[in-house]
Amino acid sequence: MRSAKFLFTALAAAGMLAAQGQPPLAQRIAARLRPNDLKADVSFLASDALQGRATPSPGLEIAAEYIAAQFRRAGLEPVGDDGYFQSAAFQSVKPNPEGLEFTLDTANAEQGTVVIQEAVATDLNRAAAFKITLSDTAALDALTAEEVRGKVLLVEVPDVGGAGGGGMAAFQAQRRMLALAAKLEPAMVVMVRAAGQQSNPNARVPLRDATAPAPKVPVLNVWDKAIHDTVAAAQPGPMEAMVSAHIAAPIVQPVKLRNVAGVLRGTDAELKDTYVVVTAHYDHLGVRPNAQGDGIYNGANDDASGSASVIAIAGALAELEEKPKRTIVFVTVFGEELGGLGARWYTSHPIFPIAKTVADINLEQLGRTDDSEGPKVAQFNLTGFDYTDIAATFAKVGAVTGVQAIKHEKNSDSFFNRSDNASFADAGIPSTTLSVSYIFPDYHQPGDEWQKLDYDNLAKVDVTVALGILDMANSAQAPQWNKENPKTARYVQVREKQ
């Protein structure tokens, strides 16, 4: 840790200490960033009235309006296409089981043994089939488009039993399979299983970015016994048996979703056209009728705490007399719980140029200090701690406020792709997610309610976060990827092409 004297000099150089007669910057930010304001915002966003803020839902829309109102109060400049709103064109894509048919040679899948996973209208009449085994990763990797293009890929899924259907390894293998399918362009992918999948009563109709190319490869799950046995008995590779199938076109409906965006304009002639983005997701899991308790997933810590922090930090920085040199962009995003939809929309439809965006600081789960590992007071974690020099900035300002920026040895890297910072990283932008706790009691449970947060601690953390953001906004040197860490190579590559 650096000495206090060094810090004083460094802070003075960075313009972080006030001119004569003014209290220090940290104190002025703290005076405006009050625990009760955070409590007010979290308690509203996480109230039962908003019904868990599912994407999409009326509760999510109310949350968006509320956040926009707070940005208006703070005097942020609206930068969406509709005031503070960045509209996103999505579609709900509901599979249509009418006339669904799947035949392998003479075996016609019995009713109730086929479900559509990826709904693409399809008619196949005796198409060639090609068998692979999901567990044979080497063979999967070796597949070429020449081998399977236009054929039906029959994927034997190992029977691992259990309600979850195979755990993380099987899940990852399946995801890899689907990514491969998109590349290899088979006519269809069929996951052939020994047993039926439990239907998920909480399954929602899938959402799709309406501006992105629609998937071309249909995916079915089949567990008809005769078909399973035929596939299981066959050697991997081209099969003698032929496939016929009919999948009706899905029922597609437009869904409008919204990110909420406002900016605090930079004032430096050159740096004002560069951008520090601060994000948090304002959606959560909604209502699940068969859940314990009231079934409302309030999402107070996850992530009303991050959204309220964005509001509070924006308000505090907007009230300072001295304006930042770079422009600070505050964005709350939808659809994180469905796989980062809102952040992905932002980076594929950026309000400000990606190449001029110097960092994304994403805020998640900042309010609960009762981490499953034990109490976490006056500290926060950063994902990808060693990926960029961002952590060093927060460590520096944390030395002033007494809040520690911490590397969680186990979760720092493994959680890097588990929140909205990942979309920004994929776009080449140095990014991180700040969290006080990763896993806490009530994580993704109806009990994640606003009364359980530590608002005094949240305010202290947010003052530190605000100081760090301001430091980045005022520094001539933009945050950088750590090129010595091999895990950043793919992000650096994207960055250097911009």
Binding site for Zn ion (CB under 5 A): 302-303, 364
Which pair of tokens denotes residue 135?
A: 């567990």
- Work out whether strand 188-192 and strand 152-156 pair parallel, antiparallel, or are unpaired: parallel
Measured from the CB atom, is 41 or 302 closer to Zn ion? 302
Q: How far apart are CA 464 and CA 316, in angstroms?
A: 12
Contact between 53 and 59 (Cβ < 8 Å): yes
Written as one string, the DSSP assignment of 19-74 is PTTSPPHHHHHHHHS-HHHHHHHHHHHTSGGGTT--SSSHHHHHHHHHHHHHHHHH
Q: Cα torsion for 277, 286, 253, 152, to the nearest 10°?
A: 90
Cβ pair 106, 80 in contact under 8 A: no
CA distance 193 to 63: 41
Please give the torsion angle defined by the CA atoms of residues 392, 396, 402 and 407, in that order, rounded to the nearest 10 degrees: 10
Which three-class secondary structure state does DSSP give residue 427? coil
Of 212, 322, 258, nearest in space to 78 by CA: 258
Sign of CA dihedral 107, 113, 117, 119: positive
In the 8-state DSSP scheme, what is residue 388? Answer: B
Minimum Å gap between C-beta 287 and Zn ion is 17
- C-beta closer to Zn ion: residue 303 or 454: 303
Closer to Zn ion by CB, 194 or 439: give it.
Answer: 439
CB of 281 to Zn ion, least distance (A): 6
d(Cα 35, Cα 460) in Å, to the nearest integer? 9
Which CB sits closer to Zn ion, 224 or 302?
302
CB of 64 to Zn ion, least distance (A): 16
Question: Cα–Cα distance between 360 and 420 in angstroms, integer?
Answer: 9
Q: Between residues 315 and 340, which has the closer beta carbon with respect to Zn ion?
A: 340
If the CB atoms of residues 118 and 448 are measured against Zn ion, the closer one turns out to be 448
**Closest distance to Zn ion from the beta carbon of 53 (Å):** 11
CA 19 to chain centre: 40
Residue 209 Cβ vs Zn ion, minimum distance, rounded to whole Å: 20
| Shortest distance, position 365 Cβ to Zn ion, whole Å | 6
Query: What is the closest distance, in whole angstroms, from the C-beta atom of residue 340 to Zn ion in the complex?
Result: 10
Give the nearer residue to Zn ion in terms of CB position, either 37 or 364: 364
Q: State which residue, 258 or 396, has the beta carbon closest to Zn ion.
A: 258
Q: How far is the CB of 354 from Zn ion (least distance, A)?
A: 23
Please tell me whether residue 435 adopts helix, strand or coil conformation.
strand
Length of the chain measured in residues: 498
Work out how close the CB of 304 gets to Zn ion at its nearest, in angstroms, rounded to a whole number: 10
Q: Minimum Å distance from CB 419 to Zn ion?
A: 6
The residue among 102 and 438 lying less far from Zn ion, judged by its C-beta, is 438
Residues 139/235, Cβ–Cβ less than 8 Å: no
In single-letter form, the type of residue at position 314 comes to A
Provide the token pair at 133: 């085994």
Measured from the CB atom, the residue of 327 and 435 that comes closer to Zn ion is 435
